[in-house]
C-alpha cells in the first residue's frame, strides 16, 4: 500500500527542502525525495563549498600581500588537499543540518530516484527496493546540471565542470575558463589567487554580460590587473584532452583561429534542467527547452503538479528557488483550505544576483541600458570606493556603487556594485525595492560611519547632484 501525503517534493535543494519545511509549518503532511544528498547541488556541490574555497583563496591573497598592512609572513604556502577538505567539511556540516531540519519539521525523507508515475503518484527506486507514494500535490524541484560542450565532454581529469573544479585531482598551472558568468568568474578568481595562470574565454562582447556594462568593464580591468587573460568575442572551436593537458582552438573577433595549450579547462557555459525521465512527458507538463513553464506561484499546466527552482528557468539562483518554494507551499496550503496564508506571486525584478569573486559583484533590478530600453528616463548615481574611508582603511579602495532611478517618480530601478563585501551590501537595495522606496527615503536614511555601505548613500545622492564626498 502506498504511503500517502498532502505534498511530495521531488528534490531537496534550496528550493525543495525549504518548500517542505514551509508546507510542514502550515500543517501539511510532507515527504521529500532525494537521489543523492539532502541539500542538493547548492549545498553539497555549489553555492556553499565554493564560498569555502573562495574564502581560503582570499586569506591566501592577504597572506601574500601582508606587507601592504605592515605585517610579515614568511614563505606563505598552501595544501590544496586541505583547502578542498575544509570545503567538503563545510558542505558536510550543512548537509547534516538539513537532515536535522527534516526531522525537526516531521518531513518524511525517501532516498532514491523518484519518478512521477501518474496524477498524484510517485515511485522511489533505491537499489532493488521500490516505494510507492501518493499525494494531493507534487512539487518538482530537481534542479539542473552543468552543460557540457557538445564536442568535448568533461572527463574530470583535464576538462572539468564546476563539480570537478571543487575537488581537483591536481592544482592547475595554466587554466582555461570557458564562459564568464558567475560560476566561471568565481573559479577563475579562486585559481588565479592560488597561483594558476588563468585565461577566460567569452563568446559575447564583454565578460559577465548580464551585469551593468560599467561593472563588466571594471571587472575586465581588475581581472587583467590581477594577471588573467580575457578573450571576448571569442568562440571555442575545439577542445582536446591530451596526456599532459588540453589543447584549445579559439576563434577571435578577427576570424582567426588561435591554438593554445593549457593544463586544465573549466567549462562554465550554463546549465541543463533535470527534467528528463521523471514522468513529465507522460503527464503532458509543458516545458520550454527543457525548463518547466509555471505561473508566478509555481503551478504548471497540469493540476497538482508544481515546479520551482532551476527547472523553471532563469535566474538560476538558490535564493530564487527558496523563495519560490515558500510561495508554492503557501499556495498549495491555500488550495487545501488554509485561509490564513496569502501568497504573492514571485517578482523576479527583486531577485539579487551575486558573484563572490575578488572583487565581488552584486546587483538587483534594471541595468542602466535595460532601464532605457524599457522606456524610462533615468537619473544615474555612481560613487567610487576611493571616496569611502572604511574601504581605504581596509585596503579595498577599488570598486563602486551605481544606482539607477526613474527620473519622473524617483523609483529605484536598479543597483549595481563591485568591490569588497558588496554581496552583503546589496540586500539594502533589495529591501528598498521590495518596499517601493524612492530616492527621498534613501537620502534621508542614516548610514553608519565608517562603513563601506556609506557608498550606497553617496551613490543615491550623486544621482541627484548631492554627493558629499566626491
Q: Are 315 and 351 in contact (CB under 8 A)?
A: yes
Residue 24 marked ligand-binding: no
Cα–Cα distance for residue pair 198/243, rounded to 1 Å:
20
Grid cell in block for residue 122: 510517485
Q: Per the annotation, does 214 bind a ligand?
A: no
Q: Is 449 a catalytic residue?
A: yes
Contact 248, 151 (CB under 8 A): no
Residue 41 counted as an annotated binding residue: no
Cα 157 to its chain centre, rounded Å, is 25
270 is in an annotated binding site: yes
Q: Which distant-in-sequence residues (6+ apart) come within 8 Å of 365 by Cβ?
A: 349, 350, 404, 412, 413, 414, 415, 429, 433
**Residue 381 annotated in ligand binding:** no
183 known ligand binder: yes
CB 209 within 8 A of CB 238: no
Q: What are phi and psi of 324, to 5 degrees?
A: -65, -35
Residue 246 vs residues 69, 159, 180, 265, 324: alpha-carbon distances, Å: 39, 8, 19, 7, 40
310 is in an annotated binding site: yes
181 is in an annotated binding site: yes
**51 annotated binding-site participant:** yes
Tell whether residue 408 is among the known ligand binding residues: no
- Please pick, among 137, 449, 457, 469, the residue that the annotation labels catalytic: 449
206: left (phi over 0), alpha (psi -120 to 50) or beta: beta
Q: Is 100 annotated as a binding residue?
A: no
149 touches 178 (CB < 8 A) = yes
**Residues labelled catalytic:** 449
State the binding site.
51, 114, 179-186, 202, 270, 310
State the binding site for FAD.
51, 114, 310
State the binding site for NAD(+).
179-186, 202, 270
Amino acid at each position: 500500500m502506498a504511503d500517502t501525503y498532502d505534498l511530495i517534493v521531488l528534490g531537496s535543494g534550496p528550493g525543495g527542502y525549504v518548500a517542505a519545511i514551509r508546507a510542514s509549518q502550515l500543517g501539511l503532511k510532507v515527504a521529500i525525495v532525494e537521489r543523492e544528498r539532502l541539500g542538493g547541488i547548492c549545498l553539497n556541490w555549489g553555492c556553499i563549498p565554493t564560498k569555502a574555497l573562495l574564502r581560503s583563496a582570499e586569506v591566501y591573497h592577504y597572506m601574500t600581500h601582508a606587507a601592504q598592512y605592515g605585517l610579515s609572513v614568511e614563505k606563505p604556502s598552501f595544501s590544496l588537499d586541505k583547502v578542498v577538505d575544509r570545503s567538503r567539511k563545510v558542505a558536510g556540516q550543512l548537509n547534516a543540518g538539513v537532515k536535522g531540519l527534516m526531522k525537526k519539521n516531521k518531513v518524511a525523507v525517501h532516498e532514491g530516484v523518484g519518478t512521477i508515475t501518474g496524477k498524484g503518484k510517485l515511485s522511489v527506486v533505491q537499489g532493488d527496493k521500490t516505494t510507492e507514494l501518493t499525494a494531493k500535490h507534487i512539487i518538482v524541484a530537481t534542479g539542473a546540471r552543468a552543460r557540457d560542450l557538445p564536442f568535448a565532454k568533461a572527463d574530470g581529469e583535464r576538462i572539468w565542470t564546476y563539480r570537478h573544479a571543487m575537488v581537483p585531482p591536481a592544482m592547475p598551472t595554466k587554466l582555461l575558463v570557458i564562459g564568464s558568468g558567475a560560476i566561471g568568474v568565481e573559479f577563475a578568481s579562486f585559481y588565479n589567487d592560488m597561483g594558476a595562470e588563468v585565461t577566460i574565454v567569452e563568446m559575447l562582447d564583454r565578460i559577465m554580460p548580464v551585469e551593468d556594462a560599467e561593472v563588466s568593464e571594471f571587472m575586465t580591468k581588475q581581472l587583467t590587473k590581477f594577471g588573467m587573460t580575457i578573450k571576448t568575442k571569442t568562440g571555442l572551436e575545439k577542445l582536446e584532452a591530451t596526456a599532459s593537458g588540453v589543447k584549445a582552438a579559439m576563434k577571435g573577433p578577427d576570424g582567426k583561429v588561435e591554438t593554445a595549450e593549457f593544463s586544465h579547462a573549466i567549462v562554465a557555459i550554463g546549465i541543463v534542467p533535470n527534467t528528463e525521465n521523471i514522468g513529465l512527458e507522460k503527464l503532458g507538463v509543458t516545458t520550454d527547452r527543457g525548463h518547466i513553464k509555471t505561473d508566478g506561484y509555481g503551478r504548471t499546466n497540469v493540476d497538482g503538479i508544481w515546479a520551482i527552482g532551476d527547472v523553471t528557468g532563469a535566474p538560476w539562483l538558490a535564493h530564487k528557488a527558496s523563495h519560490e518554494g515558500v510561495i508554492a507551499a503557501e499556495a498549495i496550503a491555500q488550495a487545501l483550505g488554509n485561509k490564513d496564508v496569502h501568497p504573492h506571486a514571485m517578482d523576479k525584478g527583486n531577485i539579487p544576483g551575486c558573484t563572490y569573486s575578488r572583487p565581488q559583484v552584486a546587483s538587483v533590478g534594471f541595468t542602466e541600458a535595460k532601464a532605457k530600453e524599457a522606456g524610462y528616463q533615468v537619473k544615474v548615481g555612481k560613487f567610487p570606493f576611493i571616496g569611502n574611508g572604511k574601504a581605504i582603511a581596509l585596503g579595498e579602495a577599488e570598486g563602486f556603487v551605481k544606482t539607477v532611478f526613474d527620473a519622473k517618480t524617483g523609483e529605484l530601478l536598479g543597483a549595481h556594485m563591485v568591490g569588497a563585501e558588496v554581496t552583503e551590501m546589496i540586500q539594502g537595495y533589495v529591501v528598498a525595492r521590495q518596499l517601493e522606496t524612492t530616492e527621498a527615503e534613501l537620502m534621508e536614511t542614516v548610514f553608519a560611519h565608517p562603513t563601506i555601505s556609506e557608498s550606497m548613500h553617496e551613490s543615491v545622492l550623486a544621482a541627484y547632484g548631492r554627493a558629499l564626498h566626491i
